[in-house]
Structure 1
Amino acid sequence: MFILSLFKNIGVSLYLFIYLIIPYSAISQTLKIDFARDLENSLNARDLEFIKKNFGNDESQNITKQFSKIINDFPESKWKIKKLKSNIPNKNFLKIKVFGEKIVNGEIYILNSNFDYLFTVVNGKIDEGLIKNLFTTIRNDNKKIDISFKIPDKVLTGSKYDIDIILNKPLEEVIIAGAIKPHQVNSFFEQEILLEPLSSGGIFKMTRAPSKPGIQIWSGIIAHPEGMITFTKSINIVDKL
């Protein structure tokens, strides 16, 4: 359920994990106790029959297509899925983690993605799903870069809020490059992020939430002498906290 393109040169073309954020995916009605485990096992075993059986036709085709993309980029990726209690009526709640690594030109790129998956069940098939609290990173620095991501999970409609990507040990004489960009939830196009030199120890941005409830997505990249980090974060835009 994810997609990315590997880093190119300093003019980076970054593909988002947009299909993770599509607000029309979900999971099934008389939900069995072991459903989360079965879904996890099917994804890890690359067994798409389970998806075809529990998702509607359109969703099954979409998920199969997107699943193939993540497997193509990270062949050894693994899923961990846990069913949690939902406090929203008629909604089920899964906490999902996806992780993997890939070696390119001798460098190890590590994928780590966490998100919540809210869904209902219609006629025994997956329907009305929603991805929330998505945070995905891809990095090739072997965790040598000491970095903090201070991005809220939810904000009020129309309110101002801060996005801070902090390098806790900035380099004095070395130029670090980076950029951050908002994206539309329904966008399936490649998203290009052009790097610029960072004069301070990270990316610091004040922005304003949309005027209507929904999901806002931010993606960015940090280029550091120790490696690169790309990230994607979804923010819930709500009309009351």
Structure 2
Amino acid sequence: MQKTLKSIFSLGLFILLTFVPCGLLQAAEIEILSERLQNSLNTNKKRELFTFLSEEIAKDIVEEYDQFIKNFPNAKWEIKPIKKKGSNQNFIKIIVSGDKEKGDHKYSLMSQKEIVVIEDSGKIVSKKILSDYSILKTGKNLLNVNINIPDAVLTGSKYDIDIILEKPLGSSIIAGGIISLTQKSKAKNNNQAIELIPMGSGGIFKSTRAPIKAGEQRWGALLAHPEGLISITKMVRVVSDPKELLPQIIYP
């Protein structure tokens, strides 16, 4: 009887694995891995990362984690899988947020990445960043901004960069500036000087052209207003094939 039940169970498992789409099984794995990653970071269990991430990816995440915690000890991670129309790849959205107060000033950080990952035998073994931006706000009153910068553009194409204050400051004068960040500066973790010029109260508006060579552009922007400062960084992928432009994201 026990042998018969075991055979039935094995047959049922075989049928289940045969007829359940591979994409659904992968999606379940990615959801589990996303939850493990979120829990490990929010509970400061960095060693656990090496059990379900490749060594290279784990080291990169630990380095970023240490930098966030150093500046914002209360930083929290929110990590979840996302779906995209027309793609069967595995995508993950990572949001890091933190805040602190020093004297009369408040500091608030929000960073968001969307990455595509490859999973193998319960481990994330490869990743590629599809979009990446961060906002650091300081001052007595933290204003909100909308970032209208594309995640990906075609080589040589013209595109707009708009950083808009949600609540324009009326007659108040603000100063702002935006520059293209170099990989050299990023690697050395140096800040490039941003020249601030007076502008209207609505925000920063710029038109630019993508390089003719595929790769990435990184932008750094700074807004100075009567209530404080807003610092923004944003990555733009430069692609040569229209198929590499991101499909629409469907959030769960």
The normalised TM-score by structure 1 is 0.76
Highest Rg: 1 or 2?
2
User: In the alignment, which residue of structure 2 is the partner of 1:17?
Assistant: none
**Mapped partners of 1:36, 1:97: distance in 2:** 12
Corresponding residue SS for 1:204: strand
How far is 1:144 from its partner?
A: 5.1
The answer for the alignment partner of 2:193 in structure 1 is 193
Alignment of 1:59-208 (within 5 A): 59-85=57-83, 87-89=86-88, 91-121=89-119, 125-141=123-139, 145=143, 147-167=145-165, 168-172=167-171, 174-184=172-182, 187-189=186-188, 190-201=190-201, 202-208=203-209
The farther-off stretch of 186-195 and 214-223 is: 186-195
Indicate conservation of the 8 Å contact 2:30/2:81, yes or no: no
Change (3 A) 1:143 1:95: farther
Q: Match of 2:128, SS?
A: strand
Structure 1 runs, 4 residues or longer, greater than 6 Å off: none
Distance 1:65 1:165, change over 3 A: closer
- Whether 2:39 is the aligned partner of 1:38: answer no
TM-score, normalised via structure 2 length: 0.73
d(CA) in 2 for partners of 1:46, 1:119: 23
Contact 2:100 2:108 in 1 (8 A): yes
User: What one-letter code is carried by the residue in structure 1 that aligns with 2:64?
Assistant: Q
What SS is found at the alignment partner of 1:69?
helix
SS in 1 for 2:230: strand
Code of the aligned partner of 1:65? E
CA RMSD of aligned residues (A): 2.7
Q: Is the 8 A contact 2:116 2:128 kept in 1?
A: yes
Q: How far apart are residue 85 of structure 1 and its match?
A: 3.4
What is the rounded CA distance, in whole Å, between the counterparts of 1:210 and 1:97 in structure 2?
Answer: 29
* Larger RCO (CA under 8 A, 6+ residues apart): 1
Pairwise CA distance, 1:99: 0.8
Which deviates more, 227-236 or 118-127? 118-127
CA contact (8 A) 1:29 1:121 kept: no
Q: How much does 1:129 deviate?
A: 0.8
How far did residue 123 of structure 1 move? 6.3
- Check 1:108–1:215 CA distance in 2 against 1; reply closer, same or farther (3 A cut): same
Partner of 1:213: 214
Larger proportion of helix:
2
Partner Cα distance (1:67, 1:175) in 2: 37
- Give ranges in structure 1 of 5+ residues lacking alignment: 1-27
**May I ask how many residue pairs the two structures share in their alignment?**
212
